[in-house]
Each structure stands twice: as structure tokens, then as C-alpha cells.
Amino acid sequence: MSEFLVVLRHVTKIYKTHERALLPGLGDLFEKAKDVDSFRALFSKSNIFQAYQGIRETFEAKREEFFHKDSLTERAKFLRELVFKEDELAVSALLDISTEFESGEFAAIAGPSGSGKSTLLNIVGSLEEPTFGQVIFEGRNLEEIREDDRAEFRRRNLGFIFQAFNLIPVLSAFENVEYALILKGVPGDLRRSRTREALRYVGLEDCMHRRPVRLSGGQQQRVAIARALAVDPKLILADEPTANLDSKTAVAILDLMEKINRDKGTTFIFSSHDSMILSRARRVISLRDGAIVGIDHKKTGSVPGIETPPLGRPAA
């Protein structure tokens, strides 16, 4: 039986979309201030004290109501409405997402623009934190990882493939891949060997010393894949990886990703609305307005019986 690599429990993400805050009472004072002089007058000690009293009374009155909400989702909605002005200060990007990803999956998160796909992918990759809920990676709650250790967690476990490739323009293809291994602390000879092997695997052995400007879009995405692959990740997160590619190149890139998944058992989670990706994914999780609206299981979600050794390491 396959093990769960990632588990999300009641994940909710709320963004503040305006710099003014704020709490009931103070927001009213901001609305009334028309110029500097009126602002000074409105923010006199007496008015601030009155605003503070209003805030305190509001929270005292709402405290019990908040704690009697049954779910984290309801508490998130209640808190947002209490603290922020709904129309301009808060946006729910994700709302009560609960799902799991098995080791070896080739899965996609689908939905229209603004549905929360990229936000969910960023939360899985610990690039963002949920407002509420838990993200469990191999049984470990990511909230337990200190901020200073998150980058190391990502280097040890994750690979990222971005829509815009995100290559360093002054470095060659070889150096872009090698840099990821430098950050991981891989020693020199092994680092160079794994870099060459990764670039050969994606078919770029003849282009490894070219800078990104001298590579096509498809070749740049292959470099990005090699960079993700070289660090021997357990999970590769791919955010709209075919969006900047023509259809023929996109097919070749997807063929390569399926080969990596099949040969090495690397878990892939895509964020995309590309029908080509969704047709190949063995499980598609559909989002709309930040919530899961459907899960389509197409095939078995894991690749059993894989014995391929990680890049740069000899088989036992």
C-alpha cells in the first residue's frame, strides 16, 4: 500500500488586499479624515480612546460567538468579517482544503485563473503558510519547521518547475543546475557528475554550456527540470509548466516528466488548466473559488516496484 507523502487538513488561506487596516472603529476614523488637519483632530486622544473602547466592546461581545463556531472554516469567515472590511481588505484564496497525495503520484490541481491553484501549490511547497489548517509532509507538520529551516527543508525534499523557467541569466545551463546542488552542499566531484547526468537525462548534453538567452523555451524548461531533478527530490511541484511553450514542445516536456515519474518514482503535483496536462494526470483535483469541487481518479495514483537509484548514487 502506498504511503501518503503530503496531507492537507482544513487548509484555509486569507490574503489582506489593502494596506489600511483595520479594526472596527479605527477604520471609521480613516474614512472621516479628509485632510491632514482633520486627521489630526480625529486622532485626538479622546477619539482614539473611544475607538479603542468600541474595539474592546466588539471583541468582548463576539468572543463567545467565535469559539462556538464548529469548524476552522467558519472561524476563518467570522474572523475575516470581524477584523477586515470584506469588500477591500480580505480575499479567501483557499477555503477548507483537505486532501492527500501519495508517494509516486502524477497529479494535477486544476481550475480557472483565481481559483487558488498556485496558492495551494505554494503552501504544499512551504513557500507560503496557511492562515488555518495543517500541511503534513511524511508525517511531519510543516508548522513545526522553523522559518530559518524552511529553505533547508525545501532543498532536501522538493524540486520546483516554474512557468517562467526562473533560470539565472548570467549562468550557463550547467551552472544553473549545479547551483542547486551547491545550495544543497553536495561536494564538487559528485556535484558535477550529477549535473552532467541530469542534463543528459533531459537531452541537453550538447547545450550544457549555453546561457539561457541562447536556448529555446523548451530547452530552458528542460534545464529547469534538470535543476529540479538533480537534487533528488521526493516531490516536484510544477506551476503551469507548459504555459510558455508551443504544443509540440509541451508534449515533449510532458513525455519527459512522465518518464521521470515512471523511472524514478518522483511524485509530481501540477498546477494547471492546460487540457494536455489534465489528460495525462492520473488524478485531477478541481478547484473553484478556493474550494475543492471535484476529484477525478483516472488511474492508480502511484508507480509501484521502482528500484532506480537516485542521481549520482550507485545502486547497491
**What confidence category does residue 195 fall into, taking pLDDT thresholds of 50, 70 and 90?**
very high
Model pLDDT for residues 253-298, shown as the tens digit of each residue: 999 999 999 999 999 999 999 999 999 999 999 999 999 999 998 7
Of residues 257, 272, 255, the one with CA closest to residue 224: 257
Q: Within 13 Å, how many C-alpha atoms sit on residue 231's CB side?
A: 29
**What confidence category does residue 121 fall into, taking pLDDT thresholds of 50, 70 and 90?**
very high
pLDDT of residue 160: 94
3-state secondary structure of 202: coil
- Above 50 in pLDDT, residue 93? yes
Provide the b/e sequence for 51-89 (b: ≥16 CB within 10 Å).
Answer: beeebeeeeeeeeeeeeeeeebbebbbbbbeebbbeeeb
Range with the poorest average pLDDT among 130-134, 145-149, 312-316:
312-316
Over residues 140-167, mean pLDDT: 90
One-character DSSP codes across 82-109: HHS-TTTTEEEEEEEEEEEEETT-EEEE
CATH 3.40.50.300 intervals, the chain = 100-132+139-297
- Above 90 in pLDDT, residue 82? no
Burial of 171 (C-beta count, 10 Å sphere; 0-12/13-18/19+): middle
- In the DSSP assignment, the letter for residue 143 is G
CB atoms inside a 10 Å sphere around CB 210: 15
- Above 90 in pLDDT, residue 301? no
Model pLDDT for residues 158-173, shown as the tens digit of each residue: 999 988 899 999 999 9
Sign of CA dihedral 77, 81, 87, 91: negative
3-state secondary structure of 154: helix
- Above 60 in pLDDT, residue 23? no
Gap between the Cα atoms of 302 and 210, Å rounded: 36
pLDDT of residue 117: 95
What CATH number has the domain spanning 100-132+139-297?
3.40.50.300
Calculate helix-pair angle for 173-184, 147-157, nearest 10 degrees.
Answer: 120
